[in-house]
Amino acid sequence: MAVYFDHRVEAPDSSGAAVLVSWHSSVCVLAVGSVNASSGGCVDLYLQQGEHVELCHVERGFSPSLLQWHPTKPLLAVGWETGETILLSHPSGEHTPLPNNTHTACITVLEWSSNGSRLVTGDQAGVMAVWRVDARGKLQGSPLIKHDYSKPLTCCIFRPTAPAEDVAMLARAAVSGDESALDMFNWKKSNKGAVFALGSQEGLAFYISAADGSVYSVDEQVRSVALLSVESAVQKMWYSKRRAVLAVVTESLLLSQFSVGPEGFTQEISKVKLSSRGGQHTDIVWTENGLLITASGEQHIRLWDVELDDHYALSLDESLGFEKGELLNCVSFCISKQVLAAGTSMGRVALWHMVTVSDQKGDTKTQWKLQTPAEVEGNISQLQWGSSSHLLAVCSSNSSCVVILSEHVMCSHYSQQMAAVQLTPTQLSLANFNSNTHITFHTDTHIRAVQVTKDMVAVWNGKYITVYEPSGQTLHSTGSFQCESAALALHDENIYTIEPNRVQIRTPQGTVKQLLVFSEVEGNPTLLSVCGSYLAVGTDTSHVRVFNLTRREAKPLGVTKNLCDLIPDLGALRSVKCNASGSQLSVLVTQVNGRPDNKVYFYDIELDTLSYFDFFTGRPESSLALSDDSQRTRCEGELAARCPVSQFWDENEPRLFVCETVPVNSDLLRSSQSQTEKEDVMVVTFFVTQEHGLLLQDSQPKPATLLSLLALDTPYYYYICKLGEVGDQGQAVSTPADAPQVPSAPQMVVRRALRDFVGLESCEKQTRDAMLNFSFYLTIGDMDEAFKAIKLIKRYMYSCTHILPTRAMRFISV
């Protein structure tokens, strides 16, 4: 469940219709080129929420023709229709023009080498120049070469280095005086300190094409030779390093593939005519693995897998909100998210998520799953994914405004029988399970975080926190204050926010009542979580601490613990939660290599000890013995080769812990938890105690109709369900006949009884505690204590008119 917030760029009055958009590959900054019919053209830079960078504004009396970011530095190459080319620096706004008279015609080629030490420029008249750029991003004088091909140049790609071109060869060439090799060493030193990896040097050879279909090869010494020729102007090129194959697509949509030999010898190996809608511009995208994607104003987009020689099409689905006859104009593919975006004629952005699945024979197959569209205005003409994989720039042909879509995982929270789930950027579904009511609430701003208690709902939009109180079938605001805290938590009448090196305890009106200070070594708080009357805090230096909130002022429990001392290869904290008594802290982490750790860690605050359960092996830490052989076999069978993605402690029972896990090769490990409905998700429940360690209580697949786990509050698991698919409540909810109902409000949270509480959902606290004790003692194998607990449960059973089978009843019958 993800939603896209739309941010319109704050364009200056002098800018006109946007014609070019380009994201930097690693910095969240967007370049926009626009044309004003009366004043000419301009280029502006914007941040991820559309804020204009005032110093980075360049105007000319003519139109910009190309934008190309440096691969690592915030340096933009801008080509204009008169041939002028400048380098624009962010955020200073400093711009350096290339020497005059290098180009006198419209710039048609701008291409950086992989590390940015070379820049290739080309124009409509056929003039090509190659420039050297130093490690600081400064242009080095005259071009290395200036060559006139006497025909318009169309595109350029740098050729990746071959694996055989290793570091030793590069070093020998540098020592012998090869300036190109020396430049590559200098660039490696400027990028992370000079540790060379085999085959990781920068390739300086490239291919450049012309309007007559000619393709030329330019080597590291900038010597140009004719390589091949095709029937018409080249529109796109792609080079397969693995196969040493150059693929070329012409303006007439003829796809040709050529094998390229070591001496520049080429041989055509295939030629195919790509299908398209006649007379329409075709937008073409190559992916790194050789997938060619085209959109040409049809009702579908076409995909050609050049490596596998396979092709197919993707269409829209009216059931997801698209209209009949809606056309697809442009495409953009996000490598890190494996998401394909396509812009439509109706102002919608179609999003396909690429999933690789394996059949029983072990063969892999690619599937594309269409998502609910994001909507903007106008006929979308350009799309580009941003440096941060959750950013997408959208440009419409009949609108002068560029929109930045920012992906946000829909937020949710549960506490004290209140649940909130985000439906849209400004809409919440609220459920009160005490009164069995569900309402839909609209806010005035985008919702980036939400927290609830039985008496309060707090919403954060990134800049302000607004507090609401439930009142019947609606909510009314009781306060709003400015706060840029990225983490938020509630307890009683207090709001917990963060700022550098401290946690702020505020009133609902924003007044700071207390500060919980962390030292510079302990770091900046980034994670907050409340369970019962305890607050868990995690920092950006992987320190954790728990605070007791039962008194007037929050008091720390134990000391601040540095988990880097206890967890090898710890990169960062993903999630920090404490139990209802504040005695145990559970932690999910990311490793140094950026991958999620397969373990869930448990820190005992009183004993100052760390234990874990490893979902890769399906075993706990060796010091924590499983209760019996059957449980060990079950763990290793069901829970092996998995990774935890979310975790929760029971709201009131400090021994009970649950987490969601997915297979280790799951796409979830590269994306948000909102995609759990696509995977083999297992919900695993443990008892965690000092005396007996970590004990598996239950494991079960997540129901297919539900999205993800929201909370554990005995006797129920609380799940977020798909909109419009509440499903059969069955045994999950006991609904009073006279409870007020609001049919129009979508029910986004459903309850499912824990295995041992099926039939006992409405029992009183004494029986519930006895049932938990029975379950615990049965898990550890203490039959005497289990029999004691069963007496209370048995008394309750006989007082009920209808009881479903439970483990307790079967235990009694035995």
Confidence check: pLDDT of 442 > 50? yes
Q: Which of 299-313, 528-542, 586-600, 725-739 has the lowest mean pLDDT?
A: 725-739
Confidence check: pLDDT of 530 > 60? yes
What beta strand segments (E) does 625-666 contain? 642-649, 656-663
CB 676: neighbour CB atoms within 10 A?
23
Confidence check: pLDDT of 590 > 90? yes
Confidence of residue 739 (pLDDT cuts 50, 70, 90): very low
Q: How far apart are CA 334 and CA 337, in angstroms?
A: 6
Confidence of residue 566 (pLDDT cuts 50, 70, 90): very high
Evaluate whether 681 touches 672 at the Cβ level (below 8 Å).
no
- For residues 629 and 460, the model is more confident at 460
Evaluate whether 257 touches 268 at the Cβ level (below 8 Å).
yes
Mean pLDDT of the chain: 85
Evaluate whether 117 touches 189 at the Cβ level (below 8 Å).
no
- For residues 326 and 445, the model is more confident at 326
Evaluate whether 716 touches 730 at the Cβ level (below 8 Å).
no
Confidence check: pLDDT of 725 > 80? no
Q: Which of 193-202, 314-323, 343-352, 673-682 has the lowest mean pLDDT?
A: 193-202
pLDDT digits (tens, 9 = 90+) for 118-162: 999 999 999 999 999 988 888 888 899 999 999 999 999 999 876
680-689 burial, b at 16+ Cβ within 10 Å, e below that, comes to ebbbbbbbbb
Average pLDDT over every residue of 342-349: 95
Q: Which amino acid is at 640?
A: A
Confidence check: pLDDT of 199 > 60? no
Confidence check: pLDDT of 675 > 80? no
479: phi then psi, degrees, rounded to nearest 5: 175, 155
First to last CA, the chain: 46
- Give me the pLDDT at residue 196, please: 39
Q: Which of 239-243, 494-498, 759-763 has the lowest mean pLDDT?
A: 759-763
Give me the torsion for CA of 592, 598, 604, 609, rounded to 10°: -60
Q: How far apart are CA 173 and CA 184, in angstroms?
A: 11
Angle CA 113–118–120, to nearest 5: 85
- Give me the pLDDT at residue 731, please: 35
Report the SS3 class of residue 712.
strand
pLDDT digits (tens, 9 = 90+) for 228-274: 999 999 999 999 988 899 999 999 999 999 999 877 789 999 999 98
Confidence check: pLDDT of 732 > 50? no
Nearest alpha-carbon partner for 340 in 361, 360, 311, 316: 316
Confidence check: pLDDT of 785 > 70? yes
Confidence check: pLDDT of 600 > 60? yes
Confidence check: pLDDT of 628 > 60? no
Confidence of residue 304 (pLDDT cuts 50, 70, 90): very high
507: phi then psi, degrees, rounded to nearest 5: -80, 170
Question: Both tokens of residue 368?
Answer: 């594309």
- Give me the pLDDT at residue 14, please: 80
Bridge partners, 312 (sequence order): 303
- Give me the pLDDT at residue 173, please: 60
- Give me the pLDDT at residue 602, please: 97
Bridge partners, 300 (sequence order): 315
Q: Is the pTM of this model over 0.85?
A: no
Question: Both tokens of residue 435?
Answer: 């009164």
- For residues 177 and 396, the model is more confident at 396
Q: Could you state, in order of their start, the residue ranges of all structural domains in the chain? A: 757-814
- Give me the pLDDT at residue 677, please: 40
Q: Which of 166-170, 313-317, 365-369, 402-406 has the lowest mean pLDDT?
A: 166-170
Q: Give, as one character, the DSSP assignment of residue 564.
A: G
Confidence check: pLDDT of 813 > 70? no
Confidence check: pLDDT of 277 > 90? no
Question: Both tokens of residue 756?
Answer: 């041992």
- Give me the pLDDT at residue 82, please: 95
pLDDT digits (tens, 9 = 90+) for 44-100: 999 988 999 999 999 999 999 999 999 999 999 999 999 999 999 999 999 999 987
Confidence check: pLDDT of 358 > 90? no
Q: How far apart are CA 470 and CA 486, in angstroms?
A: 24
Evaluate whether 480 touches 465 at the Cβ level (below 8 Å).
yes
Confidence of residue 798 (pLDDT cuts 50, 70, 90): low
Nearest alpha-carbon partner for 217 in 128, 125, 141, 112: 128
- Give me the pLDDT at residue 741, please: 38
Q: How far apart are CA 499 and CA 592, in angstroms?
A: 25
Q: Which amino acid is at 212?
A: D
Nearest alpha-carbon partner for 285 in 304, 268, 300, 299: 304
